[in-house]
Each structure stands twice: as structure tokens, then as C-alpha cells.
Chain A
Amino acid sequence: MNWLQIFVTVVTLGSIFGVVTLSLNLQYARGGMINFGIVAYFAVGAYAYAIFTQPAPQGLDQYKFGFGWPWPVALVAAATAALLFAAITGWPTLRLRGEYLALTTFAFAEVFHSFLLNERRIGNGTVGLANVKRPISDWGPIEEKYVFAGAAALLMIATLLVFRRLLRSPYGRALDAIRDDEVAALAAGKSVQRMRRQVFLISAIPIGAAGGLYAMFTTLAQPSLFTAEVTFIIWIALVLGGERSVYGAVAGTFGLIFFEEVVRTWPFETVRSAQIAASVEHIVTGLLFIAVLRYQPFDRIAERMKATR
């Protein structure tokens, strides 16, 4: 077992998905919006990054768009694309409540996934966009994987700090009020529609950037990477970590990614045992999920911290 390698991967992927969990925490735990299509915003970021950095099509390339922009610009474009996608999908859906919003966002993500599978000119169909540009191959004395881990961690910390600041202001309190009782919040003059829309839009920005980073890290933007499974992993991470605090969202994601990485890199003697381990992983994740829901350990920790503050 190469623990250092596991550590670096967990920091990189944990931070990238941690950004998505943080955004879901803002949308759901504070904004009261159930988004079951969060993977779509992540995918938009990844594809946007790939499209804006890849060279113009030539030869056998089926895709029609490639701009060859430098990576920092493309990363901003990824965040902007996710924001625009949120504006387009949020406009008809945000009036819906609870499970209706959940179903609609899930449907949107499925439609988008199907679009990616079938549309060849934009995302190159099932093959997707490979060889996504990595910024610079030579970082001098620092290995590239550390640079990625650092960049992902930076994005996550920045997201965490910005969201935490927002949620500790009267804005966060108003969001809590809206989630607890919309009618009473309206009677207290809270602009429910405006705030819900804003939360939906601003949480899409870091998701898009994380998607760009993910494409950069994997050098791929492929439909198979952005299935509904990603959405559910993020949801599991949020529930595992406890939805009450921003730290819970991060801890849950890191825990889940660490667990997956250990199972993935464990030096199994036979292929058969590796296969069994892969299935057991899902079972254990499920059991863990049930246990956390039953005992709510993180909510208790958060409450204890609140009480001592």
C-alpha cells in the first residue's frame, strides 16, 4: 500500500468532490432545495473546460468546437458555463417544491447525460473528449500530482470560506428562516424567490470550476464519468458528514473518497478477491449510510460545539 499516493489522491478527489458537496450543502441544507441532478452542473464545467482548451478540430475529429484557450481562462469559462446552465435550468424549476424539484432536476441531468451520449459535434458522443489539456507538464521540482492536490484543496478552501462567510451573515439566517417556514419568512419580508434563485446560481459557480479541475486531472470529459451515480455519491457524502455545517460536508466527502481509494488500491492476491471487495465496498457504504442516519453522530458533534461556544 502506497499511503502517500492514497493521501494525495484523497486530497485531490476529496477536494474536487468536496466543492460539489459544499455547494449541495448550501442548496439543500440551508436553501432547502433538493437537487438530484447536481452531476449535470459538474459535467457542464468539465466539458466547458475541455472544449475551451482543446485545439480546433482536424482530421478525424468529430467535434466541431475547440478554442485552444489558455487554462486559466478556460477554468473561468467552466464556472461561467455552470452558472449559465443553472440559470437556464433554475428558471423553470425553482418554483417547484421539495420532491417535485428533486424529480425535475434529476430529469434535467438525465436529459443532459443523454444529450452528451448522442451529440457528437459538441462533446464527441460516447467517446467524449480525451487528452484534455493539463496546464504545464513541467512544474520544476514539484511533482504534478502535488500541484493538482494543492489546486483542488485551494478551490475547496476558497469555496468553504466564501460560503461560511455568507451563511454566518443575516443572509444565512434568512435562508434558514425560508427553509424552516416559507410562509412565515414571507410574512417577515424575506424575498424567498430572489434568495432561492441566488443560492441556486452561486452554488453552481464552484461546481463548474471543480468540473473543470476534474477534467484537467483525469484528462477526460466523457459521459460515463457523469452518471447519476456521482449525484448519489455527493448526497451520501453530505448525509454522512452531517448537513448542519460546512465542515461536515467536507469531512463526509473525504471519508467516502478515502474508503473508496483504500478498497481500490488494496493489493489483492486474486482478481476474484478484488471483485468481491468491490461489491463489499457498496454494501459497507450502504451500512455506513444507515448507521449514520440512525445515530446522527455528526449532528451531535455540531450541537456539542454550538453548546460550548
Chain B
Amino acid sequence: MNNTASTPTAEPPLLEASAISKRFAGLRAVGGEDGLSFAVSRGSFVGLIGPNGAGKSTTFNLISGVLASDSGAVTFDGHDITNAASDTIAELGIGRTFQTPRAFESLSVLDNVVSGATSPGERLRAAFGRAWRTHESVTVDAAKRTLDRVGLTGRADDLVSDLSGGELRMLEVARQLVRNPVMLLLDEPTSGVDPVLQKRLAALLAELHREGMTLVVVEHNLHFLLALAEHILVLTHGELLTEGPPTEIRTDAAVISAYLGDDYAA
């Protein structure tokens, strides 16, 4: 990217979804007649909200390659990632967590985080050599620091099954952070997380945002999200209802109606 020639507004968006859509058994999950389109600019903190079944997680799945979209295109950082494989997309710098936290049950907490990073020793021939060991010690140090960052200090040697639901969520965040992603997609990060950890998570996200990481967060806890995000996308029935800064979204009648029902709409 040439950063001398362009003003911030002229810079193309980091992520751009154009007219993507997905149907499950003929029912529209994401994208109306024209599909779903939105853009995320580099370094921004975007919140993705909407009632249950609005297609928020499906949108994440379409971006990260977990699901193939029926139509439309997704570009990321100059690459066409439409229907690319999940691992390819991850290697390009998109990190994500899942609505139901996922973990590698047979690995320790530390190994779960370490395996987030891609080691040269994951190549067959390199695995028999010794060169990966240097990389490994660097990754282990980074993983330990990341565990501290998400509030899992002292849990490194524990089994994943010993973690609580909230801690599992933080472990998943740590596993993605150790990859040092360009953009991080978080799916309901505060769900099942106690207030103390939530506060810590809020501080962490603010810090990552300051460091320049692009964040897209799906969240039902609007109190949490609206205080952090700079831009909000509102989805209903797989379509973009509206978008804008949190201050506008907070008072938008259509958003209130979609989320709380017509009784609450002004």
C-alpha cells in the first residue's frame, strides 16, 4: 500500500463484501434480492448487530470461508477471497472466533494458544529437522504473553476441560491473537463472560484498536459494543438495515424497532 499518495478517505477498504448471499434449504440467511454489501476500512472498529437469526454469524462464516456464498464477492487486502478455503483466508490475516467457543481438547491451554501460530515445523519435511525449534521458543513466549493479556495467567498448563465457558472464549481470542491477524472477527465475545473478564476484554479490544488492528465484533451486549465501536452495521433478515456511528444507531427508530419490537419505537 502506498501511504504517501493517498488520504485516508481515498484508501480502498480492507474488507469489501459485494452482494454476497447464502440460502439454507431455500431460505434466505444472508443477502436480500441484491445480496449483502458492506465495507470495513483498515484500522476501524466495526460492530455488527441485529436480532437473532439476522445472519451475523453466517456473514462471518462467509467471510472466513467456513461457508461458501451462493453469489457475490469478497475481497480482503487486495485479494479476492470469495469462497477461498478457511486456512488460506486465515493465512492472509483474517482471524476469527466462533459463537460457540472451539478448543483443541487434547492440548493444554498453552499448546492451544501456541497452535494458533503457524510453525514452519508443520511442513512434513521441516518437521524432521531442527530449524523449527527456534521459531517454537519465540511462539511459546508470545503465547504466554498473550495468555496474560486475555487474563488467563497461570492457566498455561491446565487442560482445556478445566476452563469455564468464559475462559474458553478468552482462550479462543488468545489463539487468534498469537497469529497477529490484520483483521479480527469476534462472534459474541462477552457471552458467558463474567463482568471482571468483560472489563478486561473491553480494555484489550481498545488496546488492539489503538495498535491498528481492524476489529469486527458481533455482540448482543450493546452497552459493551456501542462504547467501543466507531461504526455499527445493523442486520435484519440478512439485509443491511442501516449503518452509522454508535450515537446515531442508539437513537435510530428502525433499529430500536428491529431489536426491541415496535412498542419501543418512537
Contact = CB atoms under 8 A, between A and B. Distances in A.
Interface of A: 162, 165-166, 169-174, 176-177, 179-181, 183-193, 195, 198, 202
Nearest to A168: B127
A181 B102 contact: yes
A305 to B, nearest CB: 15
A173 B104 CA distance: 10
Interface stretch (B26-34, B82-90, B227-235, B238-246): B82-90
A170 B87 contact: no
B179 A189 contact: yes
B115 A188 contact: yes
Contacts of B105: 180-181
Given A170-B119, A177-B115, A186 B85 contact: yes
Nearest to A188: B116
B66 A183 contact: yes
B128 A165 contact: yes
B127 A166 contact: yes
A171 B104 contact: no
Most chain B CB neighbours (cut-off 10 Å) among A169, A176, A185: A169
A186 B66 CA distance: 9
Contacts of B96: 187
A187 B128 contact: no
A180 to B, nearest CB: 4
21 contacts: A169-B121, A170-B127, A170-B132, A171-B122, A171-B123, A173-B107, A173-B111, A174-B115, A176-B106, A180-B103, A180-B104, A181-B105, A183-B98, A183-B102, A185-B115, A187-B102, A188-B175, A190-B115, A190-B118, A191-B87, A192-B87
Nearest to B132: A170
Contacts of B121: 169-171
B157 to A, nearest CB: 11
B122 A188 contact: no
A188 B117 CA distance: 7
Nearest to A199: B124
B104 A184 contact: yes
Contacts of B103: 180-181, 184
B70 interface: no
A239 to B, nearest CB: 17
A166 B111 CA distance: 17
Contacts of A185: 104, 115
B90 A186 contact: yes
B64 interface: yes
A189 B111 CA distance: 15
Given A174-B115, A183-B66, A184-B103, A189 B124 contact: no
Contacts of A202: 124
A192 B90 CA distance: 13
A192 B85 CA distance: 10
A187 B176 contact: yes
A173 B86 contact: no
Contacts of B175: 184, 188
A184 B102 contact: yes
Nearest to B85: A186
Given A166-B127, A176-B104, A180-B106, A189 B118 contact: yes
A177 B91 CA distance: 16
Contacts of A171: 121-124, 127
Nearest to A193: B85
A157 B256 CA distance: 68
B77 interface: no
B47 interface: no
A172 to B, nearest CB: 8
B132 A169 contact: yes
A102 to B, nearest CB: 21
B124 A186 contact: no
A166 B126 CA distance: 10
Contacts of B124: 166, 171, 198, 202
Given A176-B107, A188-B175, 5 more contacts: A166-B124, A170-B127, A173-B115, A180-B103, A187-B95
Contacts of B15: none
A189 B115 CA distance: 9
A193 B65 CA distance: 15
B65 to A, nearest CB: 8
A191 B123 CA distance: 10
